[in-house]
Amino acid sequence: MDSARIAELIAPYLAPARLAPAQLVQISMYIDILARWNQKLALTAVRSPEEMVERHFGESLFVAHRLFPAAAPAATTALDVGSGAGFPGLPLKIYAPALRLTLIESQQKKATFLREVVRALALREVEVFPGRAQDFPGRGELVTLRAVERFEGVLPVAARLVEDRGRLALLIGAAQAERARRLLPGFAWESPVPLPRSQQRILLVGANHARHDSPSP
């Protein structure tokens, strides 16, 4: 897909920031790989490349820009739970190349796809964990989770992966925000941010610092 067209489509999600030409090329390559694999693996119900840019890359880059107004610190570790086709994790990495990212995906074919994207885009410091989030042995300063099935079951698992004083970033429907707050009362939640060009989807970010707020015994 043409880089100039990609830049035009993602502009509403990134303004006033812009991507460098090399980042636009990476997205173009990613779209080509996704479209090819999607024919046999059904990674996304979105078939049009332009819709892919807006629905998947635009939303993911909006999250990246909100989380990292400046470049991500080199030491920042991020875990993307239930990565599927790689969103929002891989666009976060494209936006903030210094990010140290782990994509957690239990379905082996999808994990293979993620490895192919990482290889083709020559992304460094990106790992694919081919297993369930509850089996992942580490934690991250940032944990991302996009709307998934069994939300109420997955959310506490993702929360346990957030380091002390780390952040949990949720790409969810607006109706799920109150459930998230109820399920994770120990997180300090920011006000939900509506996603551009969407009436129902939001970004909800919570900080895991509750354990530091309790007085020592």
Other Cβ atoms within 10 Å of 87 Cβ, number: 24
Domain count, the chain: 1
210, amino acid identity: A
Domain with 59 in it: 3-213
Lowest mean pLDDT among 97-106, 147-156, 190-199: 147-156
pLDDT digits (tens, 9 = 90+) for 125-138: 999 999 999 999 99
pLDDT digits (tens, 9 = 90+) for 19-48: 999 999 999 999 999 999 998 888 888 888
For 156-169, give one letter per residue: b (16+ CB within 10 A) or e: ebbbebbeeebbbb
Q: N- to C-terminal Cα distance for the chain?
A: 59
The CATH number assigned to the domain holding 193 equals 3.40.50.150
* In the predicted structure, residue 87 carries a pLDDT above the cut 80: yes
Query: CA angle, 11 as apex, 174 and 48 as ends, to 5°?
Result: 75
